[in-house]
């Protein structure tokens, strides 16, 4: 379960560039896409039989040699599949990174995965859903450290001549881990995947929470920004 302690939203001052559609994502995304912890999503024996695996040229992440395995759908099934690459630490055999993109051969199924709600009269056409998940190995356990997702889609209105292209980018980075005295999150305090972050984030707003660290440059990676802030605090 996921619980939000603090949050804020940025509202575009120009309503003409705002689309009132809701897509999958939000605070529950890291929990849903932790494919190592939830192997049924991609890595289970039952699921992997739908994929073709291939050894690729080895790579280096940081200073660690990586075994690289690509995967792609072997044949069509009755649910969506993915293609991408897995990076596995050659020494520890722990996952370092997983890059995966939604197979767009069946646009109807892809739409069902991405889209939650759209205004009446809008035609939604998905183009890309790419997710990168990074893990850190602490000597005992490999844990999710960073998640980045890109969603690209077109929308057009039936009475308009041209369609509009949209790009939604989301990032999550783990800044701290506390396991002592951890308690389950009560259901009434948890944030459901059905909830809209945009609609509910006002309940968690605290303009003074970040203080002087309240600004992160839009062009800067969240992972790098958090690393810099932690150095300033320490």
pLDDT tens for residues 43-65? 999 999 999 999 999 999 989 99
Decide: 144 and 30 in contact? Cβ < 8 Å: yes
Q: For residues 12 and 48, which has the higher predicted lDDT (pLDDT)?
A: 48
- Least confident stretch, 57-66, 102-111, 217-226: 217-226
Decide: 94 and 61 in contact? Cβ < 8 Å: no
Mean pLDDT of 189-197: 74
N-terminal to C-terminal alpha carbon distance within the chain: 30
- Average pLDDT value over all residues in the chain: 83
Is residue 68 pLDDT above 70, yes or no?
yes
Q: What are residue 101's DSSP bridge partners? A: 83, 130
Q: For residues 225 and 166, which has the higher predicted lDDT (pLDDT)?
A: 166
Mean pLDDT of 79-85: 94
Query: Residue 43: what pLDDT?
Result: 92
CA distance 85 to 68: 7
CA distance 77 to 112: 15
C-alpha dist (Å) from residue 117 to 24, 195, 196: 9, 12, 11
Q: What are residue 71's DSSP bridge partners? A: 53, 84
Query: Residue 17: what pLDDT?
Result: 56
202 torsion bin: left (phi>0), alpha (psi -120 to 50), beta (else): alpha
Is residue 214 pLDDT above 60, yes or no?
no
Is residue 7 pLDDT above 60, yes or no?
yes
Ranges assigned E (strand) in the chain: 22-23, 51-55, 59-61, 64-73, 82-89, 95-102, 115-117, 122-137, 142-157, 164-173
CA distance 214 to 224: 15
Mean pLDDT of 26-55: 90
Give the pLDDT band (50/70/90) at residue 5.
Answer: confident
Please choose, from the candidates 143, 156, 104, the residue with its C-alpha nearest in 3D space to the C-alpha of residue 126.
104
Q: What are residue 82's DSSP bridge partners? A: 102
Is residue 196 pLDDT above 80, yes or no?
no
């Amino acid at each position: 379960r996921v619980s939000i302690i603090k949050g804020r939203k940025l509202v575009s001052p120009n309503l003409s560039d705002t689309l009132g559609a809701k897509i999958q994502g939000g605070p529950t995304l890291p929990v849903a896409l932790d494919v190592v912890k939830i192997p049924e999503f991609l890595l289970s024996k039952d699921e992997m039989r739908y994929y073709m695996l291939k050894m690729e040229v080895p790579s280096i992440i940081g200073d660690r040699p990586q075994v690289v395995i690509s995967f792609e759908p072997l044949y069509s099934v009755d649910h969506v599949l993915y293609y991408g690459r897995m990076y596995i630490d050659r020494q520890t055999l722990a996952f370092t990174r997983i890059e995966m993109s939604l197979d767009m051969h069946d646009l109807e199924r892809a739409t069902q995965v991405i889209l939650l709600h759209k205004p009446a009269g809008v035609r939604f056409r998905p183009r890309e859903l790419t997710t990168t998940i990074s893990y850190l190995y602490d000597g005992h356990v490999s844990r999710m450290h960073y998640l980045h997702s890109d969603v690209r889609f077109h929308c057009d209105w039936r009475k308009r001549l041209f369609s509009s292209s949209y790009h939604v980018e989301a990032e999550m980075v783990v800044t701290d881990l506390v396991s002592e005295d951890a308690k389950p999150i009560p259901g009434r305090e948890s944030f459901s995947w059905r909830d809209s972050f945009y609609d509910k984030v006002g309940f968690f707003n605290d303009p003074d929470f970040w203080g002087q660290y309240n600004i992160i440059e839009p062009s800067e990676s969240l992972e790098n920004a958090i690393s810099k802030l932690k150095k300033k605090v320490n």
